[in-house]
Structure 1
């Protein structure tokens, strides 16, 4: 196994996860994303790092990356309602409101929010 090459790769997976959460909570979204990219790549079967990575991309205005990550999440976990919502919001921010609507409707339905 190669030795860590950057600060972002240093430590155990649990330590890096905690560090990423701290940066995210401090609104240092781009830094959190750099940590999470490595972590999510190592553990693609875990939803939490991938979802936090998508959120970090979204909040740091890396919208194409957020879209790509959210689509990958929904391929693996199609019933992840928060990913549905985030993809809809991401598409809206990208100026693709028509494409966003089905994701936003699905997220609302999954959350039990039905129009009256």
Structure 2
């Protein structure tokens, strides 16, 4: 696949994900992974597609891979936290969401952290 074709496929996968069509996005991403699997942006998009198609363990692996490349990626930590939350691993989720909220103190991140804290409190 040419560089131009890779970029086009990546953008198409982003569009499909925005349209809530994660399985189609995964199919479109396949040739991109053959060429650029080590790019954090590709792994992040892959993880989001897995997340939205409820392939949570695969999503976790993709987000962890992004964090191997860049441990300071606050968004990867946020979506990893959300993934762990859906997997029922609340304390691990809280740790990731805390880091994300400290790195990027936006209302959405604070809300996600508050939500996980409430889930943990109700289970105690």
Query: Matches of 2:61 and 2:46 in 1, distance apart?
Result: 11
Select 1:25's aligned residue among 10, 18, 43: 18
Aligned position for 1:8:
none
Aligned to 1:64: 57
Report Cα offsets for 1:41-81 as digits up to 9, x if no partner: 41134222221111111111110100011111111110000
Aligned counterparts, 1:25-64, within 5 A: 25-64=18-57
Return the TM-score normalized by structure 1.
Answer: 0.80
Write out per-residue CA displacement over residues 16-51 of structure 1, whole angstroms, 9 at most, x where no aligned residue: 112212211221111102222431341134222221
Counterpart check, 1:104 vs 2:97: yes
Aligned residues: 106
- Cα displacement (A) at 1:85: 0.6
In structure 1, the gaps of 5 or more residues are: 5-10
Q: Note the aligned Cα RMSD (angstroms).
A: 2.1
Whether the 8 Å CA contact 1:37–1:53 is kept in 2: the answer is: no
* Structure 1 stretches of 4+ moved >6 Å: none
TM norm structure 2: 0.76
- Mapped contact 1:29–1:57 kept (Cα < 8 A): yes
SS in 1 for 2:45: helix
- Give the match for residue 16 of structure 1: 9
Higher percent of residues as helix: 2
